Amino acid sequence: MAISAADTFDPSSSDLASVRFAALAGLRARGPVVFVPAIGAWAVTGYRAVREVLADPARFPSGGTYRPDHLPAAALAVYPADGALWRHSMVSSDGAHHRRLREPMARAFTARRVHALGPAVTADADGLLQRLFRAGESTVDLYRRFVQPLPARTIARSFGLSVEEAARFTAWSDAFLVPQVPGLPEAAYVQAARQFAEFDAYVRDTVRGDLRGIGDGIIRTLVESGRHGGHDLTEDELVGDIANVVFAGHETTVSSLSNAFVRLLRDRDLWAGLAAGSVPVADLAEELLRVDTAGIGLFRTTAGPVRLAGVDLPAGARLWVAFGAANRDPEVFAAPDVVDPGRSRTPPSVTFGHGIHACIGSALARLQVQIAITAVPRAFPTLHLDGGIAETPNFVIRSTPHLPVAR
């Protein structure tokens, strides 16, 4: 009996990162919906099937699809499975609970607020690049010096917090990724739990306080709205909502930037075009976000027996909705592995999801990617990779957390 791609797909393998898209293509070649034993879930890899799942939370709910119950007892003793950061997340909730969390956040996360951040994000990018190389340095880590701090500063600004808090957001966001990486030492999960507890306490103290020192940002808008009857979120809901948006807004953008810069630093024609200002930045950013998807996949379940892309699934079936595979579906995107800034945006990618769970901060992420891929090549036209790189072996978030570069 032949061994299939589904049988050999192993999310815990250290080799996953290097063969990620080939593995996804192998799954997709078996069909748009195929069972993967290693994750105990049906991989939904076809573009149309992914959109169908995301558009119908009644048949394919997300509620309860991500729980920290697999973490060691020592970690759960530090931050429990019923903590606010786990229980109150838009990503893993549906129906009335999802609406309660999303609607106040959407009213605070306005297009006007995002647009107004543009000059500050540009100034932050320029400032970070001015300090990229210190005296005597020939090689630096672009990830640590630019890719990671830029979104952290942006998140701090958007929430009305001091940019001096940015480094703390980075540590807290890194901790959110730890439970998604299987096979780590127990100590790693315990340390992540400590970060969750610290993050919970920080947000809780902020929303309980008198808002002194909190600028005109999302936190002030949410807290004042609640105090004046604009919403009735509980303290736990407010803490979970804010913390999860901070994490998603930071980590997704950091991962998107790291993946984009790997590709751009390897493609000298694109790099030169960006340095010269001859490449359409907005179109290129969209294409980089499609081809090098940061959010590789999230989970859903089936509410009842359902037929999806010709496959009959039982009630309670676990689905891994593979955005990264859908964004390279050759039935939808011609030459799907090729970065083509001139590609039509119809149909759109599923990089930021679809339906009620579409990313609430997608405009802010796009803004940062556009500013970053403009600023770095123009500041350093000859910047190039100067050392090995490796992605994190993770089948939920794709990121390259080390980018050694020289000028």
**What average pLDDT does this structure show over 232-260?**
94
φ and ψ at residue 361, rounded to 5 degrees = -110, 25
pLDDT in tens, 324-348: 999 999 999 999 999 999 999 999 9
pLDDT in tens, 191-226: 999 999 999 999 999 999 999 999 999 999 999 999
Domains along the chain with CATH numbers: 1-60+296-350 (3.30.43.20), 72-294+354-406 (1.10.630.10)
* CA distance readout (Å), 395 to 48, 228, 246, 321, 368: 20, 42, 21, 11, 24
How many Cβ atoms are within 10 Å of 69's Cβ, its own excluded?
8
pLDDT in tens, 135-179: 999 999 999 999 999 999 999 999 999 999 888 888 888 888 888
3-state secondary structure of 324: helix
Which DSSP symbol is given to 245? H
* CA distance readout (Å), 167 to 92, 148, 153, 240, 242: 27, 9, 8, 20, 17
**What average pLDDT does this structure show over 24-35?**
94
Which DSSP symbol is given to 296? -
Are 293 and 327 within 8 A, CB to CB? yes
Q: Which residues contact 207 (CB under 8 A, 6 or more apart)?
A: 219, 222, 223, 235, 238, 239, 242
pLDDT band at residue 5 under the 50/70/90 scheme: low
Are 250 and 170 within 8 A, CB to CB? yes
pLDDT band at residue 1 under the 50/70/90 scheme: very low
φ and ψ at residue 405, rounded to 5 degrees = -135, 155
Which DSSP symbol is given to 357? G
Q: Determine the Cα–Cα distance for residues 232 and 223; give it in Å rounded to an integer.
A: 10
* CA distance readout (Å), 292 to 295, 328, 344: 9, 9, 17
Say how many residues make up the chain: 407
